[in-house]
Structures are given as structure tokens and as C-alpha cells.
Amino acid sequence: MVWIHGGAFVEGAGSEPQYDGAKLARRGVILVSINYRLGLFGFFAHAALTSEAGPNAPLANYGIMDQVAALRWVKANARAIGGDPDNVTVFGQSAGAVSVLTLMTLTNERLFDKAIHQSGSPWAKTIDLRQASIIGEDAARELGLSTASTADQLRSIPASALLRVSDAFFAQGKLGGFHDGRLTTQPIIDGRLIKENPGQAIAEGHFRHVPVLIGMVNGEDSLIPTNGAADAFFADIPLLRLPEAAMAYQKISATDVYGVVNGRKAAIARSAFQDTVFAAPARWLAHAVAASAPSYLYIYDRRSATSELSTGVGHGGELPDLFGATATAPREFGETLRSCWVSFAKSGRPNCGTLRLWLPVGRAGNGFVRLAADATLLNNFRGQRLDIADRLNPYLSIQDHK
């Protein structure tokens, strides 16, 4: 199992204590945690670099190149460390999940055999080489270089200075973020290594057809600001501008979501954010994959077997439970999650917990399984709301996969 950490492509590391893989390894897998270049170190374009690279050399996506190199290393060395090069599962959360989706679309070599996509957004936007080059030129100017900077001048920039600009650009929304209800993120469409948006590639069938486990947590709305910026954020959710949304969300109360809620209006906006950015895209991705390989859907909400009340799990909140290094929940939640992930990695089927027969999407309604101390199948999970959210799908209607 190869772990790709999250962090919006600007922060994080595979060496963080919360990613200690000992408990997963004890279940009979070899866990490899990797690092990759982040921010402007990992995703940078400039006319001088493009001109120097030649017509076929990959550009801009140094972070993705690092991930590819790591997976090649795993394939080459798996047997030497007691593993199987023909049974590699790549898994990642948030930016790590976006990375997994991107790697699925690099079809010219077999880098892995199964994929786990945790809280990514298959409908996320990416920028092309021209747009990335404009950002690169802005960065060069911030560092005192002219628009006509050479490749050698760019390489002479101290790492500390580039890091300062990288952090500033992320804070300003130049390296990603939520705009008009959609997430803009890396990687960059460079036309060479990455030739199209990963979501578009999935829609057109340009991806490696491997079993995929796809899902989210119940509190993805933890990503929404809790200060004065929240109102502007809520107004930026296009789902709530659709006429039929009022009917679909009329029964939402202030207790129906798991983040910080200030009244019913905020609860509706938070629910719509979850549906548009995470739940509907996950369902679409699962159905897109299901046409050619088994796919499995989940929502992790950490509810006990005897209670309908959720303790709430924010974005990334499943990771302490999955790795068990800094547990934040009773032991059974982590045990369930680890058994599902390891079962999928070993066999391509997540047979785990109390749900021993987890059917792939297409054989069990829309296929969402609630993962908690007891795993249960959810019938038509948020069905009407996700159907409405599908209208905002920039790539392909889920109806084409039913």
C-alpha cells in the first residue's frame, strides 16, 4: 500500500506522526509513505523553462513526477522488501486523493493495481500551462526577476525565497482554493505528462481500469470558514441557485450537518457544499469506474451501533482512525476502517466489519456504505440532493452510468 498525503498540494509530509503505518502493516501489508514536491517547488511553469525543455519533455508537474518515480521504485523493489509488485494499492486523502485520480489517468504504464480515493473532488478544476506560466511569471517578479528571466536565473532563486512566495500565493488563492462553488487545484495540464483535466479524462474513459474505493467523511464542511468570510462562501455555492434546490433542502435543520452551524441557512449551505464538492462527485466517479472495474462507495461518519447521533468527523478526520497513531475515537472505529482498507488492498473487495458482502456500485443501488463501528448499506443516500447536484457536473451526467 502506497500512501500519498494531503495538504492542498502546499503542505504535509509522509513522515508526519499521524501517518505511522504500523497498525496497517500488522494486518499483513507493506506500507510505503512517500513525499513529493509541494507549492511552487512541485507545480511551477514559466516560458523560460518551457522553451528550454524541448517539445516532448514533461513540464510543470514536478510533484506528480515525484509520485510516479516513487511508484516505479515500489514496483522495482517490492520483492526485495517482501512484497508483490503485481499487487500495489495507491491511496490518498484530499490532495492525495486528487493525486490518485491523476495517476489513474496516466495510462502508458502500470504503476498500481488498485486505488483508494479519500475526500478528493473529481469535479475539481485545473489550470493549463499558459495559466500556470502567468503565475510563474508573477512569482518571478515577486522575487525581483524580469518577465524575460532565463532558466538559470530561475534556478538561482534561494529555496527560502521561493517558499515565501509559494505560501503567499496560496494564501491569495493563486495556487488553488474554492471559487464559484468549485475547487481549483493541482496538477497542471501541461499537454505532455498530463494532457487533460483528470475528471475529463475519467469521463472520456482515458484512465487505468482498476478497482477503486471512493468516499468522504460526514463533516467535509469543516473546510468552510467559520469567520465573517463564511457568508460570502455560502453565496458562492451555485447549487443553491437552482430552483429545485429549495425543495430538496427544505427539511434541513440546524442539526443536520456536522460542522460549525449558525442557524438553518448555514446548515443548508454546508450540506450543499458537501453534496456538490464531495458526495455527488464521488458518486459520479464510482459509477464512471464501475463501467469497467469494481468500485465501492463509502461515507465515514463514526456513529455507534446504538446511536443515530454523530460525533462529527471533519475533513481528514478519518486519518487518525485509519492509521491509529493518534486515535481520536473508540478503538472499534479504527479497526473497522483498517480492516476495510486492507481487505480491499489484498483482494480488491472491501469485505470488513459487520458488512461482509459489500457489493460494488451498480449491484446495490447507488452503493454508499456507512462506515462506523457497524458498517451498513445506505439506500439512496442523499438521492434527490445528489441528483440535483449532478446538474453542475462539468464532465458527464451520472445518468449515463446507471
Q: Are 133 and 46 in contact (CB under 8 A)?
A: yes
Question: For 378, phi and psi rounded to 5 degrees?
Answer: -100, 120
User: What's the mean per-residue pLDDT of the chain?
Assistant: 87
Rounded mean pLDDT, 210-233: 82
Asked if omega into 238 is within 30° of 0 (cis), the reply is no
> Is 151 contained in some domain?
no
For the record, the C-alpha cell of 325 comes out as 497513531
> Is 263 contained in some domain?
yes
Residue type, position 159, single letter = A
Confidence of residue 129 (pLDDT cuts 50, 70, 90): very high
| Predicted local distance difference test score (pLDDT) of residue 399 | 46
Confidence of residue 155 (pLDDT cuts 50, 70, 90): very high
Q: Residue 190: which residues within 8 A CB-CB, separation 6 or more?
A: 45, 58, 59, 60, 61, 128, 129, 132
| Predicted local distance difference test score (pLDDT) of residue 340 | 92
Q: Are 261 and 270 in contact (CB under 8 A)?
A: yes
Alpha-carbon gap, residue 24 to 146, rounded angstroms: 50
Helix (H, G, I), strand (E, B) or coil at 300: strand
250 versus 330: the higher-pLDDT residue is 250
| Predicted local distance difference test score (pLDDT) of residue 31 | 97
142 carries an active-site annotation: no
Rounded mean pLDDT, 358-377: 77
> Is 148 contained in some domain?
no
| Predicted local distance difference test score (pLDDT) of residue 45 | 95
Question: For 233, phi and psi rounded to 5 degrees?
Answer: -60, -45
> Is 397 contained in some domain?
yes
> Which residue in 220, 222, 295, 401 is the catalytic one?
220
Alpha-carbon gap, residue 188 to 190, rounded angstroms: 6
Q: In the predicted model, is pLDDT for residue 271 greater than 50? A: yes
Residue type, position 378, single letter = L
Q: In the predicted model, is pLDDT for residue 324 greater than 50? A: yes
> Is 154 contained in some domain?
no
Of the listed ranges 33-42, 60-69, 387-396, the least confidently predicted one is: 387-396
Tell me the CATH number at 309. 3.40.50.1820
DSSP character string of 201-240 = HHHTT-S----EEEEEETBGGGGS--STHHHHHHHT-GGG
Rounded mean pLDDT, 71-87: 96
Q: What percent of the chain has pLDDT over 70?
A: 88
Q: Are 48 and 154 in contact (CB under 8 A)?
A: yes
Helix (H, G, I), strand (E, B) or coil at 272: helix
| Predicted local distance difference test score (pLDDT) of residue 85 | 96
| Predicted local distance difference test score (pLDDT) of residue 310 | 42
Range of the domain at 364: 2-139+167-401
pTM, entire model: 0.93
179 carries an active-site annotation: no
Q: In the predicted model, is pLDDT for residue 378 greater than 90? A: no
Rounded mean pLDDT, 61-85: 97
Number of domains in the chain: 1
For the record, the C-alpha cell of 149 comes out as 528571466
Residues 16-26 pLDDT 10s:
999 999 999 99
> Which residue in 46, 117, 287, 315 is the catalytic one?
315
Of the listed ranges 258-267, 295-304, 320-329, 330-339, the least confidently predicted one is: 258-267
> Is 146 contained in some domain?
no
> Is 145 contained in some domain?
no
| Predicted local distance difference test score (pLDDT) of residue 259 | 53
315 carries an active-site annotation: yes
Q: Strands of 125-128's sheet, edge to edge?
A: 125-128, 182-189, 177-179
> Is 296 contained in some domain?
yes
> Which residue in 5, 33, 46, 94 is the catalytic one?
94
| Predicted local distance difference test score (pLDDT) of residue 221 | 84
| Predicted local distance difference test score (pLDDT) of residue 366 | 54
Tell me which residue has cell 509488485: 85
